Amino acid sequence: MADHKLTVEDLLRSPALQLRLLAGEAGLGRSVSWAHVSELDDPTPWLLGAEVIMTTGIGVPRPAARQRAYLERLDDAGVSALALSAQLHVPPLHRAFLDAAEERGMPVLEVPLAVPFIAVAQEVAASVHGDHRLSAQLQVFGALRWLAAEDLDTATLFKRLERLSGYDVFLCTPYGRPLLPGVPVPALDVLPSEPDAPPTIPGGFVLPVPAPGGPAGFVVAFEREGARPAGLAVVQHIATVAALQVAMARHERETLRREGAETLAELLQDLLDPPAARRRLARMGIPLEADVMLLVVRGAPDDTLRRALDGRPHLVLRRGDDHVLLGPPALGTAAAALEGVHVGMSRPFPPGESMRVAQREAMWAAARAVEAGRTLVGYGEDPTGRWLPDDASTLSALVDNVLGAVLGYDAAHDSHLVASVRTWMERDRRTEEAAAALHVHPNTLAYRLRRFSTLTGRDLTSTTAFAEVWLALRAADQLGML
């Protein structure tokens, strides 16, 4: 590789440098022997020829005639190309300057602000002198072949990339959390505060891991003591490998999420026998050695809930405005931490068992959470409700026997007798407080209580009747009738 002829076009095509041609396309075949930074108006006395001159623009004159003369001096001295740093001190380039570049075939390149001049110089040195950097780049490109042929896990893959590149490699999300399993997270103080920040940091580089919609995170590479670091281009290739790994992981998670939703839908309909259900749950990552819970989450956007549950084993199914979740009890705490949600949680049950009872419990608890303005309610927290039977037909019979007549009256007359009695009972029979909650006059509430007693045949001043009505209301709640 020592006799390799590097051209301006080679630099322009380098994905690591991201250069842009402004003028002088006819000169892209010019050979390059070195890259040097100069902010002088006339650096030619110190040049040997075939250099790429890099400048932030301090030495570039502002008048059109002087700009043209500046470019012509460089071309006469045998400079291969002029590289101008974007967004720094380069003055507006006049047409006379660009026309001179075209006439002479003198390439004028723009260097992105995020690419340091040292990266251009390293690329030139690596190519001209044939050091290990190009070999390292080619081998890093081979990472995809390793994945396919050797079935490497993520941790092993990145350990191999570290040995090739001469860097200790770290990965994290934009918020500093692990991005890929088995790859350590860097210290947060090295992460860039702005999207266009330069990639160089003391002792290495930090680069975004590209993904649709914005960076998936960052790769941080620190030079390893005693190793031969392979330069920015190799770190950029490592970032590309990380991006592919992230895309693969996201695709796998999406596939599992979709399969999990289908499995949960079948479980809720009792379409799977217990052994088949347990096999499915194990494949979805649900631990079988401990009890699980069914949750109903209301008011959570899909993306927000997904982020809150990321990394926790669970199945999720969207049902209208609700999300139904299956997983360990810790899911309830994670979901309830979201703003504006109401979560209802069933009692624990063994994985693979029928979920008919758990569905009613979770739905009832979610309704109670909304009514009480609470974030999380678990079934059984109500000291009365826990004594009710699980059998739906028994609960329905209790509701029909005690509340049937008044429920029919409310439906026919658009009245609110059941709601009024329930509110009054929940407020320990404090009539004025209940009337205020219902936004009615206390006399109106008193009339409703008398009407309720007449229709049900139960005197609410009687302890026996009161208890029976209260249990019937709890049963209706559990059945989702209120």
DSSP labels, 388-428: S-S-HHHHHHHHHHHHHHHHHHHHHHT--HHHHHHHHHHTT
Question: For the chain, how big is the Rg over CA atoms in Å?
Answer: 36
CA 79 from chain centre, in angstroms, equals: 48
CATH of domain 392-478: 1.10.10.2840
Instruction: Evaluate whether 171 touches 178 at the Cβ level (below 8 Å).
Output: yes
| Beta-sheet pairing, 108-111 with 81-85 | parallel
Q: What is the pLDDT of residue 4?
A: 55
Q: What is the pLDDT of residue 1?
A: 38
CATH of domain 284-381: 3.30.70.270
| Beta-sheet pairing, 204-209 with 200-201 | antiparallel
Give per-residue pLDDT as tens, 268-293: 998 999 999 999 999 888 989 999 99
Per-chain mean pLDDT for the chain: 87
| 293 sits in which H/E element | strand 293-298
Q: Which residues of 462-471 are buried (b: 16+ CB within 10 A; e: fewer)?
A: eeebeebbbb
Q: What is the pLDDT of residue 382?
A: 61
Q: What is the pLDDT of residue 460?
A: 92
Q: What is the pLDDT of residue 2?
A: 42
Q: What is the pTM of this model?
A: 0.48
Give per-residue pLDDT as tens, 426-436: 899 999 999 99
| Beta-sheet pairing, 167-172 with 200-201 | unpaired
Q: Is the pLDDT of residue 337 over 60?
A: yes
One-letter amino acid at 194 equals E
| Average pLDDT of span 204-212 | 90
Q: Is the pLDDT of residue 148 over 60?
A: no
Q: Which residues of 84-94 are buried (b: 16+ CB within 10 A; e: fewer)?
A: bbbeeeeeebb
Give per-residue pLDDT as tens, 31-60: 998 899 999 989 998 888 899 999 999 989
What tokens appear for 84 in the block? 């101008």
Q: What is the pLDDT of residue 150?
A: 62
Q: What is the pLDDT of residue 144?
A: 55
Q: What is the pLDDT of residue 395?
A: 85
Q: What is the pLDDT of residue 130?
A: 59
Contacts 24+ apart (CB under 8 A), 134-140: 134/1, 136/164, 136/165, 136/166, 136/230, 136/234, 137/230, 137/233, 137/234, 137/237, 139/164, 140/164, 140/165, 140/234, 140/237, 140/238, 140/241
Q: Is the pLDDT of residue 341 over 90?
A: yes
DSSP string, 318-382: EETTEEEEEE-THHHHHHHTSTT-EEEE---B-TTS--HHHHHHHHHHHHHHHHHT-SEEETT-S
Q: Is the pLDDT of residue 402 over 60?
A: yes
Lowest mean pLDDT segment, chosen from 205-209, 310-314, 347-351, 478-482 = 478-482
Q: Determine the Cα–Cα distance for residues 177 and 173; give it in Å rounded to an integer.
A: 5
Q: What is the pLDDT of residue 46?
A: 86
Q: What is the pLDDT of residue 139?
A: 54
Architecture of domain 8-129: 3-Layer(aba) Sandwich (3.40)
Instruction: Evaluate whether 209 touches 155 at the Cβ level (below 8 Å).
Output: no
Q: What is the pLDDT of residue 56?
A: 92
Residues 6+ apart with CB under 8 A from 256: 284, 285
- Which of helix, strand or coil describes residue 233? helix
Q: What DSSP character marks residue 26?
A: G
For the chain, domain boundaries: 8-129, 132-249, 284-381, 392-478
How large a percentage of the chain has pLDDT more than 70?
A: 93
| Domain 132-249 belongs in CATH node 3.40.50 | no
Q: Which residues of 326-338 are buried (b: 16+ CB within 10 A; e: fewer)?
A: bbbeebbebbbeb
